């Protein structure tokens, strides 16, 4: 995805908003190199990931491969370096490598591009931004940290203002316990059952019920009924969420532990001021079955469920077992911003951004340029993004340019204005025009620019 400047400005504002909110919650920035050692990247993965990895070779390495092997490539000679395909593996490598220089719990955010050699198709990108936060503990990490995550998600998407959203919560232990209680104890079987349950939306309850009671699974009809009831649970309020947990009963250890964790998370999410309309239990959410072990999160736009989850993640048991002997449990989420941006644009949910340029200083004739430059300097020193028309042209053309570029204010400094010590300003957003003393211009524009934030702010 390559954007024209006005779209890039909109994209950049979203990146800034996410970063600002990540920092507001005390997460620290980390950036890692785009290349990792192939052996590091491929440690955890199965063949699927390897098929999607981009390998990197310098000319020297290419030559060496060609010459050293007498022109033949050994069957599995993978290049030494590859491009990261997510930010989790680099985080694991980073934490393991810098373990002794980091303070735990380590709270980091990372917003960089990742690379996947996917087949090019609409809305799928081979290079895309991920915006991740994680809290990584050493040896242990309290469930309390799980409660901060929904507060961060809430802050981010409230400020992004892309519509009503719901943060959906579940807990893997609770799920495991519940399935065990239905006689589905074996992890592999649980995974297979969940994959069938995932087809509810597409194939309907009858299909799923038949499959699970059928030959391949052979589950009891009443167990399947309870499972189908369970995965339909969505709470409608904070009290309802607590009641839903209560209703699960005592059950087994895993269920009890999952319920206790989720209850604590819910209580602290409320203490953090997340409105109860913005979060809910959803017992159908599983996420990466072999990775997450506790709380799991998904976030959906209420009016655009077809977009799917726009921010997901969860609690994991051990981040970096491949790279260090320390046990590093953590909890984190990821926003795939490139895809989200594309989807929002497709859905018509993104307004065309105003330019990052706030003021265009026009030029009546070549002789006035020094005045215009001095005015621009005053505006810039006051913090306003200012462009000067450097070559004289018809004023109408300059206005047309500002309009097309999405620049809100156009300043005219003609001979009359210079004589009066004033500037004439046209506000293209309000279709309004006013003359103001030059010494008061910057302040006047800043008041105008702050206005919409006060009117429509969150």
Q: Is 287 annotated as a binding residue?
A: yes
CB of 292 to a copy of itself, least distance (A): 20
Note whether 25 and 148 are within 8 A (CB).
Answer: yes
Q: Please, what is the minimum distance in Å from the beta carbon of residue 324 to a copy of itself?
A: 16
Q: What are phi and psi of 340, to 5 degrees?
A: -60, -45
The pair of structure tokens assigned to 275 is 């409105």
130 is in an annotated binding site: yes
CA angle 392, 394, 397 (to 5 degrees): 105
Closer Cβ to a copy of itself, 37 or 373, answer by number: 373
Report DSSP letters for 73-97, one per residue.
--TT---SEEE-SSSHHHHHHHHHH
Does 188 carry a binding-site annotation? no
Binding site annotation covers 8?
Answer: no
In whole angstroms, how close is the CB of 142 to a copy of itself at the nearest point?
Answer: 5
Phi and psi, residue 421, nearest 5°: 65, 35
Strand ordering across the sheet containing 312-316: 28-29, 106-115, 127-136, 330-336, 312-316, 292-301, 165-171, 279-281
Round to whole Å and give the CA distance between 452 and 120.
40
Q: Which is nearer to a copy of itself, 221 or 415 (CB)?
A: 415
**Closest separation in Å from C-beta 117 to a copy of itself:** 3
94 is in an annotated binding site: no
What's the CA gap between 374 and 379, in Å, rounded?
A: 9
Residue (290 or 391) nearer to a copy of itself, CB: 391
**Residue with smaller CB distance to a copy of itself, 29 or 183:** 29
Q: How far is the CB of 131 from a copy of itself (least distance, A)?
A: 14
88 is in an annotated binding site: yes
Q: Which is nearer to a copy of itself, 8 or 433 (CB)?
A: 8
* Strand 28-29 versus strand 106-115 pairing type: parallel
Residue 87 marked ligand-binding: yes
Binding residues: 86-88, 116, 130, 134, 287, 291-292
Binding residues for L-histidine: 86-88, 116, 130, 134, 287, 291-292
């Amino acid at each position: 995805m390559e954007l024209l400047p006005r779209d890039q400005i909109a994209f950049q504002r979203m990146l800034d908003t996410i970063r600002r909110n990540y920092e507001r919650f005390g997460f620290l920035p980390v950036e890692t190199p785009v290349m990792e050692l192939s052996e590091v990247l491929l440690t955890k993965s199965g063949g699927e990931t390897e098929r999607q990895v981009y390998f990197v070779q310098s000319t020297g390495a290419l030559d060496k491969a060609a010459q050293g092997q007498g022109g033949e490539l050994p069957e599995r000679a993978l290049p030494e370096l590859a491009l990261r395909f997510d930010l989790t593996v680099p985080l694991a490598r980073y934490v393991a490598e810098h373990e002794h220089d980091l303070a735990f719990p380590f709270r980091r955010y990372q917003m960089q591009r990742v690379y996947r050699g996917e087949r090019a198709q609409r809305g799928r990108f081979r290079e895309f931004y991920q915006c991740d936060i994680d809290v990584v503990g050493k040896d242990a990490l309290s469930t309390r940290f799980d409660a901060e995550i929904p507060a961060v998600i809430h802050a981010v998407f409230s400020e992004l203002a892309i519509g009503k959203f719901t943060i959906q919560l579940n807990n893997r232990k609770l799920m495991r316990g519940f399935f065990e209680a239905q006689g589905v104890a074996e992890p592999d079987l649980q995974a297979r059952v969940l994959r069938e349950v995932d087809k509810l939306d597409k194939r309907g309850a009858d299909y799923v019920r038949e499959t699970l009671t059928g030959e391949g699974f052979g589950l009891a009809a009443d167990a399947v009924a309870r499972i189908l009831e369970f995965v339909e649970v969505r709470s409608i309020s904070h009290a309802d969420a607590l009641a839903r947990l209560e209703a699960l009963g005592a059950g087994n250890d895993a269920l009890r532990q999952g319920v206790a964790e989720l209850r604590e998370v819910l209580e602290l999410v409320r203490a953090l001021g997340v409105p109860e309309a913005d979060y809910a239990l959803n017992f159908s959410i599983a996420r990466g079955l072999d990775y997450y072990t506790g709380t799991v999160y998904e976030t959906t736009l209420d009016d655009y469920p077809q977009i799917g989850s726009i921010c997901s993640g969860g609690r994991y048991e051990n981040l970096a077992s491949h790279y260090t002997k320390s046990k590093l449990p953590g909890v984190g989420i990821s926003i795939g911003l490139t895809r989200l941006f594309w989807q929002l644009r497709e859905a018509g949910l993104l307004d065309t951004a105003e330019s990052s340029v706030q003021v265009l200083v026009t030029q009546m004739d070549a002789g006035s340029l020094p005045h215009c430059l001095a005015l621009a300097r005053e505006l810039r020193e006051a913090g306003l993004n200012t462009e000067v028309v450097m070559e004289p042209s018809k004023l109408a053309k300059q206005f047309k340019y500002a309009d097309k570029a999405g620049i809100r204010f156009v300043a005219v400094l003609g001979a009359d204005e210079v004589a009066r010590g004033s500037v004439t300003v046209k506000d293209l957003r309000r279709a309004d025009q006013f003359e103001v003393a030059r010494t008061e211009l910057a302040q006047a524009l800043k008041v105008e620019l702050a206005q919409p934030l006060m009117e429509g702010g969150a």
